[in-house]
Amino acid sequence: MGEIAQGDDVANAIAGCMKRHDARLVDDDIVVISQKIVSKAEGRVRRLAAVEPTTQAVGLARETDKDARLVELMLQESVAVLRRKKNVIVVEDRHGFVMANAGIDRSNVEDADSVLLLPADPDSSARRIRAGLEAVFGVAIGVIIVDSFGRAWRNGVLGTAIGASGVVALIDARGRPDRFGRKLQITEIAAADALAGMATLLMGEADEGTPFAVVSGWKARADAEGLGALLRRREDDLFR
Amino acid sequence: MGEIAQGDDVANAIAGCMKRHDARLVDDDIVVISQKIVSKAEGRVRRLAAVEPTTQAVGLARETDKDARLVELMLQESVAVLRRKKNVIVVEDRHGFVMANAGIDRSNVEDADSVLLLPADPDSSARRIRAGLEAVFGVAIGVIIVDSFGRAWRNGVLGTAIGASGVVALIDARGRPDRFGRKLQITEIAAADALAGMATLLMGEADEGTPFAVVSGWKARADAEGLGALLRRREDDLFR
């Protein structure tokens, strides 16, 4: 797939790429899409040279040894800074995602002076791309938009859902029996994140990376919208 | 696959099940195995009636509204209690895993009065099962043992690696270029957890669940041992 530029239609770009490879979507496929191409298409690139950091950003940048203009963008995208240390800023962003650097990425952007923000409304992006792909292929599918998140307690990033449409993001297994007929102890399964993690592993991070993957055969497509159910409410969370 | 009992050979049980289904392992396959059958085979079932809770366990049980005998087992398996509230105890267990309830499970155990601890040494279990499967099928494979973990900040559980053999658990991408030839920002990828998450989703939690899955085509098998690289050191961790 070629590079995506601002204003490009992500659904058409994916459909075109699939058709060139003699591939097509079928009912119940789930298309997992890297945040990067969605953000680029939506014009979420920011030139650092155009950013004027506030005093708060300058202070936090000094504490963490980061570029103050980058920190300014992180603060603009966030509602709270949860942790900071040299080279690390963990925020709660305005979508409710707890993540490093507010998901702002310096990799895979053409211009070394530019950075890429997350999509403004990833659930809406997913819904729009889904509608586009459904129209092209005449099918009912799901879409998950993913980014790579670090985790508390464990090293390494894991692809994580940041937007969804047409997918059961959180499976509610309450009331289901275990193998011996008793109530199952585990009651909610983060299906969208499991799909996001595997698809991101296959998509890759480096220069050979591909920006989307198709999950076939997983029958959790639904008319469900968004991934709000995956986000723990702040008041229920023991780690922020 | 039938029920696993104490003393059963997990590798033989998996191999027998595959053969009955006319399936076989090939080089580079990764066999993902539920902690539950490993723990059962290793005799990690504990009868609650035989547990004598300490004063500390009784206090923590009262605080969290849990069974004091269950809490006693959690404390025995843990080095620190990180968070507690009604119905929730998050510990760092003696393997270094940060998880709810020290991974102790009341579901899927025949006897309602019994619980299942994690394997005593999941990396060793993985190594032993790998050797058994490699001998049966004459192949070089990887093994990941998984359990379902909750996460900070997000609802729902995700299958997570607790033991590994013959798998690159953490991919080190340092020095690799991004699409535009610059240094990649994301440098470590939690491959074993991505595989664990997807395989666990397919294996399922409920009564129709199957206790293992085979990943084919993912070429990250290696002579690597263990998943220590996935565990963030306490001194590097901002959330415990």
- Determine, for residues B152 and A207 on separate chains, whether the beta-carbon distance falls below 8 Å: no
Residue A220 — φ and ψ, nearest 5°? -120, 20
Residues of B in contact with A88 (CB under 8 A): 238
The confidence score (pLDDT) of residue A108 equals: 62
Question: How far away is chain A from the Cα of B174, in angstroms, using its nearest Cα?
Answer: 10
Q: Please tell me the distance from the alpha carbon of residue A195 to that of residue A200, in angstroms, as a whole number.
A: 8
A105-134 tens-digit pLDDT: 876 676 778 999 999 999 999 999 999 999
Q: Please tell me the distance from the alpha carbon of residue A146 to that of residue A161, in angstroms, as a whole number.
A: 5
CA atoms within 13 A on the CB side of A51: 22
Q: Is residue A179 very low, low, confident or very high in pLDDT (cuts 50, 70, 90)?
A: low
Tokens of A38: 């969605």
The answer to whether A179 contacts chain B (CB < 8 Å) is: yes
The alpha-helical segments, DSSP class H, found in B116-240 are 122-137, 191-203
Q: Is residue A224 very low, low, confident or very high in pLDDT (cuts 50, 70, 90)?
A: confident
The confidence score (pLDDT) of residue B186 equals: 66
Question: What's the angle, vertex CA B161, arms to CA B155 and CA B167, rounded to 5?
Answer: 145
- Determine, for residues A107 and B83 on separate chains, whether the beta-carbon distance falls below 8 Å: no
A199-223 tens-digit pLDDT: 999 998 655 568 999 999 887 767 7
H/E stretch holding A78: strand A78-85
Compute CA B85 distance to the chain's CA centroid, rounded to the nearest angstrom.
Answer: 24
Query: Please, are residues A127 and A77 in contact by the beta-carbon 8 Å criterion?
Result: no
The confidence score (pLDDT) of residue A58 equals: 98
- Determine, for residues A158 and B197 on separate chains, whether the beta-carbon distance falls below 8 Å: yes
Mutate to test the interface with A, among B3, B97, B155 (most CBs of A within 10 A): B155
Q: Tell me which residues of chain A, numbers 188 to 207, contact chain B at a CB-CB cutoff of 8 Å.
A: 188-191, 193-195, 197-198, 200-201, 205-207
> Measuring CA to CA, which residue among A178, A162, A31, A29 is closest to residue A95?
A162
> Measuring CA to CA, which residue among A99, A97, A79, A114 is closest to residue A89?
A99
A3-30 tens-digit pLDDT: 899 999 999 999 999 999 999 999 999 9
Percent of chain A with pLDDT over 70: 91
In this structure, the number of other CB atoms found within 10 A of the CB of residue B78 comes to 22
Question: How far away is chain A from the Cα of B156, in angstroms, using its nearest Cα?
Answer: 5
What ipTM did this prediction achieve? 0.93
Q: Is residue A77 over pLDDT 90?
A: yes
- Give the start-end residues of each E strand in chain B: 30-34, 45-47, 78-85, 88-93, 98-100, 114-116, 142-149, 158-167, 171-172, 188-189, 212-215, 221-225
Q: Please tell me the distance from the alpha carbon of residue A116 to that of residue A102, in angstroms, as a whole number.
A: 10
CA atoms within 13 A on the CB side of B24: 9
Question: CA nearest A207 in B: which residue?
Answer: B179
Q: Please tell me the distance from the alpha carbon of residue B115 to that of residue B105, in angstroms, as a whole number.
A: 6
The confidence score (pLDDT) of residue B218 equals: 85
The answer to whether B50 contacts chain A (CB < 8 Å) is: no
The confidence score (pLDDT) of residue B180 equals: 67
Q: Tell me which residues of chain A, numbers 75 to 134, contact chain B at a CB-CB cutoff of 8 Å.
A: 83, 85, 88, 90, 97-98, 105-110, 112
Q: In chain B, which stretches have pLDDT less than 50?
A: none
Query: Please, are residues A159 and A148 in contact by the beta-carbon 8 Å criterion?
Result: yes
Amino acid symbol at A9: D
Query: Please, are residues A112 and A40 in contact by the beta-carbon 8 Å criterion?
Result: no
The confidence score (pLDDT) of residue B187 equals: 80
